[in-house]
Structure 1
Amino acid sequence: MARIGVIGAGYVGLTTAACFARLGHTVVCADVDEAKVSALSRASVGAHEPRLAELVAEGLGTGRLRFVLGNRAALADVDFVFVCVPTPTGPDGAADLTFVDAVLDEARGTVGPDCVIVIKSTVPAGTTERVAAVIDRPVVSNPEFLREGHAVDDFLRPQRVVVGAPGPRGAAGREAAVRVAELYAGTGAPAIVTDSASAELVKYASNCFLAMKLSYVNSLAELCERVGADVSDVTEGMSLDDRIGGAFLSPGPGWGGSCFPKDTRALLSTAESLDVDFPLLRATIDTNHAQAHRVVGLVRDAVGPLRGARLALLGLTFKAGTDDLRDSPALATATLLAAEGAVLTGYDPCVSADCGPVRVLPSAEEAARDADALVILTEWPEFADLDWEDMASTMTGRSVVDTRNLLPPAKVTEAGFHLVPLGRPTP
């Protein structure tokens, strides 16, 4: 088994460290946040991620996992160093590599000559090649494919492991790339060993394609509304075609989170910097920006002028199963509603503090009290099981805009509500 250092105890780094420890490796995970390191050393995991806290506790208990403050302790006496630091969007839309470069500068004079530096952070194509040219150590790319809410399962049972080394087809560093791929042997996943630019592009290409499917189905849903079709039936018919499949064909208020907005902008920036016209990706981004405005239009059509209207928003995170509010389409919609003068209350199972213009309350029922309309923005399953007759008894209005097509139409309408779904005929 290997000795692994992980730099960064964020969402990706913590999952990587805990899961490698579960696979039997010895892992030291470093972060610059003293409070975070202290909490993790006590097995206190703040992130809402199924099984992650359990694996952290297990790793600490077996001694295969420990957390340290500062990077140097994770760079010494290890066989592999995984760089798992943020690559936020820069002012020009490109990925900001400040944190990655800082870690690599520190690693240059610290890691042993045979230690493999693994860039797991999402970086533009060519980054690993650039780093390898200035660091006299093996450097490979190993992009992550972790879905929030499913990160542990995605790591321990991945669909694929991608590793890339600099040079054509990874020729120069193929041995290092194969060593990294072997770290995942316990997962049973197929491994793709290639050149680093291809590996880096796999991550961007995957996320941007999925974002494109979501933008496509949101436009399709609007078309269904105009012609009287049901988008659920249309996508079911599409999904039975093996070439298409059913994943990411559910309409909604837009896509968000920590990856899709950042990665689509970064890939488009890379294409533009190389004079590659990518109108399909540009349209994917533009369509998503327009989706929040479309949702506001549906709410306005349902309740009339929004100034002074009391609206209850159910769901604030960017998707169900996570507490992540980054680039949440629910909050983008809330901002637009507030700009038109709406008074907003909200509820989300994983959010307790007020979010921008939304006053967060401890239950859906309290958020809906005296509301003129209710808007479903995140697909938390529990919203489908609400007592709609009880909701009707406390609300002022009778409009429900369901941007996730989550609610049972019969129950909602039988309680006296006017249900506005997305891409479906109004019941």
Structure 2
Amino acid sequence: MKITVIGTGYVGLVSGVCFSNLGNEVTCVDKDKSKIDMLHRGEVPIYEPGLKELIEHNVQENRLSFTGELAHAVKEAEVIILAVGTPSLPNGEANLQYIEQAVREVALAMNEYKIIMTKSTVPVGTNERISQIIGQLTELPFDVVSVPEFLREGSAVKDTFNPDRIVIGVNSQRAEEKIVHLHKPLTENIIVTDVRSAEMIKYASNAFLATKISFINEVANICEKVGADVTMVAKGMGQDRRIGSSFLSAGIGYGGSCFPKDTNALIQIAGNVEYNFKLLKAVVEVNTDQRFNIIDKLTKVFGDLEGKTIGIWGLAFKPNTDDVREAPAIEIVETLVRLGAKLRLYDPIAMEKFKGIIGIKGLEYCTNALETAIGCDAICLLTEWDEFCKIDLSELKRVMHTPVLIDGRNVFSEQQIRDTSFQYYSIGRPQITRLTDVEQLERVN
């Protein structure tokens, strides 16, 4: 099948590359010439494990190409995938400016029947609006289908080839047969529904997962006060098949390009039909507050943070990605700077993107985890990269000024910490009694 993908962000590039790997002839289009130039040089504008190798393979097999010329790519395609960004407006609504612009260009370039497949996350009713725009600009036949994506950054290639399900919102038998056939190599679990329901499934799915994260973080905060261990609580909850274990890891909250944007958009969608989505508003509030747990723990240890040197491990919102959009690290760093702390920062992948978004001078960027800790009064682990999880704690203590470790992702076990002299603070777990403290008590007795 001949496919044109408009947009080479996470969704567009990963989808296009993976469809080409299934044997389809795919052209990826982007107006950003620098992105297309990078791809022509064999470079990848986003960090996603396994993606570079797939690009190289499918380019060599002549199944994958890149261009800035949308019109020609549309004429050659049977299916046109819309994967342009829908960023949030100040009121939380999705900004449809870019997708509507792309749709107009598609309509003017059409030369025969086309299927326009929307993978951009859009509010309910958007695909009907897309149909109206195209219908006003061409008399050629077409169908618009909604196929929302459920990719996780950092495992997007794996998720594409191993989806839990494929959701297809479609109102045409002709388009349904073609789009089902396109996705059959990926899974037999294909849900065909009306377009509006498909649009809603995407928002509802992300909002529910965000709710699970905020819920377990609220439970973690209670656990700290009553002496329970949230990791054990989550384990016990997750064994219930009605609940499941995924998205029950307590920490400093969600970030990235999807959950914050989609939760706010769904609140706005509800508000537009005069429904007050109180639960989801609370989810967003909890998530915003949760990242300041790190600040609270630091002030509990030191009181005044003026002049304290704090090391930050992890700037991306999650490991295996360079995405810093809505990353908890942004507000944590901004707050620590306001409180007068001196910061040393490190992330294996995301530092350049973080520098481009943070806009604060005087931050010290380091080249590895251990270097970051040199002379620090405390280390704050914000992203659970393997490099941090596997650090030699004795070496870490050796280079620090004071051994204070704030674990915002609960990556270290009780046994690992008990054998050290770290002042260790995690999320929702009891304060660990270190082995050295026990020995001192035994000597006193």
User: Normalising by the residue count of structure 2, what TM-score does the alignment of the two structures yield?
Assistant: 0.92
Alignment of 1:151-230 (within 5 A): 151-165=156-170, 170=171, 173-230=172-229
The percentage of counterpart residues that share the same residue type is 39
Equivalent residue in structure 2 for 1:393, among 381, 393, 398: 398
Question: In the TM superposition, what whole-angstrom CA distance separates every residue of 1:158-196 from its partner, at most 9, and x where no partner exists?
Answer: 11111112xxxx3xx233133112111211241111111
Unaligned residue ranges in structure 2 (runs of 5+): 136-141, 433-445
Q: Tell me if the contact between 1:253 and 1:330 (Cα under 8 Å) persists in the aligned partners.
A: no
Q: Could you say what secondary structure the match of 2:312 adopts?
A: strand
Question: In the TM superposition, what whole-angstrom CA distance separates every residue of 1:122-157 from its partner, at most 9, and x where no partner exists?
Answer: 000110112223423211111111111111111111
Q: Could you say what secondary structure the match of 2:292 adopts?
A: helix
Q: Tell me if the contact between 2:72 and 2:109 (Cα under 8 Å) persists in the aligned partners.
A: no
Counterpart check, 1:279 vs 2:278: yes
Comparing 389-398 and 308-317, the one that deviates more: 389-398
Q: Tell me if the contact between 2:165 and 2:187 (Cα under 8 Å) persists in the aligned partners.
A: no
Q: Tell me if the contact between 1:315 and 1:378 (Cα under 8 Å) persists in the aligned partners.
A: yes
Equivalent residue in structure 2 for 1:370, among 375, 386, 404: 375
Shift of 1:386: 1.2
Q: Specify the alignment match of 1:103 in structure 2.
A: 102
CA distance in 1, matches of 2:21, 2:188: 16
Q: Could you say what secondary structure the match of 1:187 adopts?
A: coil
CA distance in 2, matches of 1:189, 1:338: 51
CA distance in 2, matches of 1:174, 1:329: 45
Q: Could you say what secondary structure the match of 1:400 adopts?
A: strand
Q: Specify the alignment match of 1:419 in structure 2.
A: 424
CA distance in 2, matches of 1:316, 1:97: 29
Shift of 1:94: 0.1
Counterpart check, 1:80 vs 2:79: yes
Q: Specify the alignment match of 2:252 in structure 1.
A: 253
Alignment of 1:201-350 (within 5 A): 201-350=200-349
Equivalent residue in structure 1 for 2:384, among 363, 376, 379: 379
Q: Tell me if the contact between 2:169 and 2:195 (Cα under 8 Å) persists in the aligned partners.
A: yes
Counterpart check, 1:23 vs 2:33: no
Q: Tell me if the contact between 1:352 and 1:361 (Cα under 8 Å) persists in the aligned partners.
A: no
Shift of 1:32: 0.9
Q: Specify the alignment match of 1:123 in structure 2.
A: 122
Counterpart check, 1:57 vs 2:56: yes
* Counterpart AA for 1:363: N
CA distance in 1, matches of 2:22, 2:429: 46
CA distance in 1, matches of 2:68, 2:370: 43
CA distance in 2, matches of 1:31, 1:43: 16
Structure 1 residues 177 and 302, CA gap change in structure 2 (3 angstroms): farther
Q: Specify the alignment match of 2:3 in structure 1.
A: 4
Q: Tell me if the contact between 1:352 and 1:362 (Cα under 8 Å) persists in the aligned partners.
A: no
* Counterpart AA for 1:392: K
Unaligned residue ranges in structure 1 (runs of 5+): none
Q: Could you say what secondary structure the match of 2:76 adopts?
A: coil
Shift of 1:16: 1.1
Question: In the TM superposition, what whole-angstrom CA distance separates every residue of 1:34-75 from its partner, at most 9, and x where no partner exists?
Answer: 121122123221322111111111111111111111321221
CA distance in 2, matches of 1:177, 1:184: 11
Q: Could you say what secondary structure the match of 1:181 adopts?
A: helix
Q: Could you say what secondary structure the match of 2:77 adopts?
A: coil
CA distance in 2, matches of 1:409, 1:339: 33
* Counterpart AA for 1:7: I
CA distance in 2, matches of 1:114, 1:413: 67
CA distance in 2, matches of 1:269, 1:101: 20
Alignment of 1:123-142 (within 5 A): 123-136=122-135, 137-142=142-147
Q: Could you say what secondary structure the match of 2:253 adopts?
A: coil
User: Normalising by the residue count of structure 1, what TM-score does the alignment of the two structures yield?
Assistant: 0.95
Counterpart check, 1:71 vs 2:70: yes
CA distance in 2, matches of 1:368, 1:206: 39
Q: Could you say what secondary structure the match of 1:423 adopts?
A: coil
Shift of 1:223: 0.2
Shift of 1:331: 2.0
Q: Tell me if the contact between 1:178 and 1:193 (Cα under 8 Å) persists in the aligned partners.
A: no
* Counterpart AA for 2:84: V
Q: Could you say what secondary structure the match of 2:406 adopts?
A: strand
Q: Could you say what secondary structure the match of 1:177 adopts?
A: helix
* Counterpart AA for 1:408: S
Shift of 1:414: 2.6
* Counterpart AA for 1:322: T
Equivalent residue in structure 1 for 2:155, among 139, 150, 163: 150
CA distance in 2, matches of 1:364, 1:370: 13
* Counterpart AA for 2:125: G
* Counterpart AA for 2:380: V
Q: Tell me if the contact between 1:5 and 1:81 (Cα under 8 Å) persists in the aligned partners.
A: yes
Comparing 293-302 and 260-269, the one that deviates more: 293-302
Counterpart check, 1:359 vs 2:364: yes
Shift of 1:296: 1.0
Structure 1 residues 268 and 348, CA gap change in structure 2 (3 angstroms): same
Q: Specify the alignment match of 2:35 in structure 1.
A: 36
Q: Specify the alignment match of 1:48 in structure 2.
A: 47
Q: Specify the alignment match of 2:436 in structure 1.
A: none
Q: Could you say what secondary structure the match of 1:109 adopts?
A: helix
Counterpart check, 1:93 vs 2:92: yes
Q: Tell me if the contact between 1:77 and 1:111 (Cα under 8 Å) persists in the aligned partners.
A: no
CA distance in 1, matches of 2:150, 2:110: 26
Q: Could you say what secondary structure the match of 1:327 adopts?
A: coil
Q: Tell me if the contact between 1:8 and 1:84 (Cα under 8 Å) persists in the aligned partners.
A: yes
CA distance in 2, matches of 1:295, 1:369: 20
* Counterpart AA for 2:367: P
Q: Tell me if the contact between 1:313 and 1:347 (Cα under 8 Å) persists in the aligned partners.
A: yes
CA distance in 2, matches of 1:162, 1:18: 20
* Counterpart AA for 1:59: N
How many aligned positions are there?
420
